[in-house]
Each structure stands twice: as C-alpha cells, then as structure tokens.
C-alpha cells in the first residue's frame, strides 16, 4: 500500500473560511463576507479561552523580585496563572531551589493581618484588570536572598490577523472543530443557512468534546490506602 509519507496537512484562515461557507451551503463572495468571517474567528478564539485549559498555550515566565515590593505585572498576553514558585540561587546547579507558592483569593489576602511583613513569599493572588493582570505576593519579599518568581501561565490565542494565508494559532487537530465553529457562527447570520444550524452546532459540540478531551494532561496516579482509617474488630 502506497501512502503519501507526509503529515504536513493544514488549513490557512482562507481555507477555513471557504470550508465554513461550504458547510453553510453558501460561498465567500465579498470583502464584507471576509471581514465578517475574520471577526467571527476572533470571537471564537476569545470564546475558546473561556472554555478551560489550553495546553498548547502554556508558557513560563520569570521575574526577579525587589525587596519591599509585593505586586508585579504579568506578561501582557497572560490570561491566567496556573502555577507559581519562588526560586533561590537561580542558575546555580548545586543550590538552585524552587518552593511552590500557594494560591489564595483576594478575600484571603485581605484577611492577612500582617500585610507589611517582609520575608520569603509563600502565597499569591491574581489581581485581574481589564488590560493587564498582576500577581500579588505574601509575604512581601525581603532582602535576605535574591528571589526569582517563576510562573506558568496561559497565553492568549493570537488574533486572526488581516492576511487570509495566515495560519490559526491552534494545533492542527483543532482545525475541524474551528471550521465547524466558524460555520455555526456564519449559519446563524445567513438566512438560507438557518435550517443547517442544529446540524452544524451538534457536530461542533461533538468535535469540541473530542479534541478538548484529547488535549489534557495525563499523569500517573497512585492510590495509597490510609490504614489509620480502618477499624480493627476482634472476632
């Protein structure tokens, strides 16, 4: 059996738009249609960012801490922090040490009685804004050591852009789902495609469930029984 031997298939944004219009029983005819499809793609990317953890968008950043300063602006593209720790002796192969920070809520931080305490940070909360987010540490870093804040964050999905030959900022396995997501958005606005909306929406939901289930971390889990909870009975 002869196969292609390649695994490089992809769709650029123009291909996705054409396929989505095909699913609607229509076609991309004008600049207005293209503009509307591009706008819909950007809205889909924003929607997907609210659906949960996108593993392909996880990145890591670091920030050297300043003694007496407990609030630091996150990377501009950071949507959410999923893990953070304090590193000491950064770069020292023998002594570098990472200590995980516990995440708390704003309310829990507000209930801290000693907010001005300076020491090695052990907790953080995320102060969210409209254009940027900040990480607030407790305790406030002291000058006893050089601390480096290291955090993993979910990066925003890039916009569609203005060029049809651009690729979507998603893994290739998401392309079928993205195509149906766009088709669903378009079908809701195209009068002759309204009767196709239920079918397209159902297929979109199926594809999303499949790909989001596949795009999750898998790790070994070990269950250890706690013998202290057993009740010993003499017969």
Q: Are residues 149 and 61 in the same domain?
A: yes
Q: What is the pLDDT of residue 51?
A: 85
Q: What is the pLDDT of residue 131?
A: 85
Q: Are residues 61 and 150 in the same domain?
A: yes
Query: Helix (H) and strand (E) counts for the chain?
Result: 5, 10
Q: What is the pLDDT of residue 18?
A: 96
232 lies in some domain: no
CA-CA distances (angstroms) from residue 217 to 64, 86, 103, 213?
A: 29, 24, 21, 10
Tens digits of pLDDT across the chain (235 residues): 889 999 989 999 999 999 999 999 999 989 999 999 999 999 999 999 988 778 899 999 999 999 999 999 999 999 999 999 999 999 888 999 999 999 999 999 999 999 899 999 999 999 998 888 999 999 999 999 999 999 999 999 999 998 888 999 999 999 999 999 999 999 999 999 999 999 999 999 999 999 988 877 766 666 666 666 666 666 6
CA-CA distances (angstroms) from residue 133 to 2, 27, 73, 138, 204?
A: 53, 41, 6, 17, 32
Q: Are residues 139 and 208 in the same domain?
A: no
CA gap 209, 212 in Å, rounded: 5
Side-chain half-sphere of 22: how many Cα atoms within 13 Å? 7
Please list, residue by residue across 74-92, b when 16 or more beta carbons sit within 10 angstroms of its beta carbon and e when fewer do. Answer: bbeebbbbeebbbbbeeee
220 lies in some domain: no
CA gap 201, 186 in Å, rounded: 11
Q: Are residues 139 and 88 in the same domain?
A: yes
Instruction: Assign 51 to helix, strand or coil.
Output: coil
Give the domain-ending residue among 107, 134, 155.
Answer: 155
Instruction: Assign 172 to helix, strand or coil.
Output: helix
Q: Are residues 91 and 21 in the same domain?
A: no
Whether 64 contacts 72, CB under 8 Å: no
Query: What predicted TM-score, i.e. pTM, was given to this entire model?
Result: 0.83
Q: Are residues 30 and 64 in the same domain?
A: no
Q: Are residues 126 and 198 in the same domain?
A: no
Q: What is the pLDDT of residue 41?
A: 96
| Domains identified in the chain, total number | 2
1 lies in some domain: no
Q: What is the pLDDT of residue 164?
A: 85
Q: Are residues 206 and 148 in the same domain?
A: no
Q: Are residues 80 and 150 in the same domain?
A: yes
Q: Are residues 60 and 140 in the same domain?
A: yes
Domain coverage including residue 186: 13-52+158-214
2 lies in some domain: no
Give the domain-ending residue among 108, 134, 155.
Answer: 155
DSSP-derived letter for residue 12 is B
Q: Are residues 42 and 62 in the same domain?
A: no
173 lies in some domain: yes
CA gap 108, 136 in Å, rounded: 12
Give the domain-ending residue among 155, 171, 193.
Answer: 155
* CA-based torsion, 227, 229, 233, 234: positive or negative: positive
4 lies in some domain: no
209 lies in some domain: yes
Q: Are residues 79 and 113 in the same domain?
A: yes
Q: What is the pLDDT of residue 215?
A: 73
CA gap 145, 83 in Å, rounded: 22
Whether 25 contacts 193, CB under 8 Å: yes
């Amino acid at each position: 059996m002869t196969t292609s031997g390649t695994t490089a298939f992809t769709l650029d944004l123009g291909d996705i738009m054409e396929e989505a219009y095909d699913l609607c029983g229509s076609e991309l005819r004008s600049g207005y249609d293209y503009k509307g499809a591009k706008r819909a793609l950007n809205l889909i990317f924003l929607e997907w960012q609210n659906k949960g953890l996108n593993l392909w968008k996880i990145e890591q950043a670091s920030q050297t801490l300043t003694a007496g300063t407990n609030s630091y602006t996150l990377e501009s593209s950071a949507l959410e922090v999923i893990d953070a720790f304090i590193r000491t002796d950064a770069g020292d192969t023998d002594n570098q040490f990472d200590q995980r920070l516990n995440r708390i809520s704003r309310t829990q931080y507000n209930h801290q009685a000693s907010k001005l305490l300076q020491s090695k940070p052990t907790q953080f909360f995320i102060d969210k804004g409209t254009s940027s987010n900040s990480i607030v540490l407790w305790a406030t870093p002291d000058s006893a050591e050089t601390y480096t804040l290291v955090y993993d964050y979910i990066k925003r999905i890039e916009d569609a852009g203005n060029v049809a030959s651009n690729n979507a900022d998603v893994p290739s396995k998401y392309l079928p789902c993205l195509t149906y997501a766009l088709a669903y958005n378009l079908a809701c606005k195209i009068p002759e495609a309204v009767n196709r909306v239920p079918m397209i929406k159902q297929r979109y939901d199926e594809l999303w469930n499949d790909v989001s289930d596949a795009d999750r971390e898998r790790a070994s889990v070990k269950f250890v029984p706690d013998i202290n909870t057993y009740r010993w009975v003499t017969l």
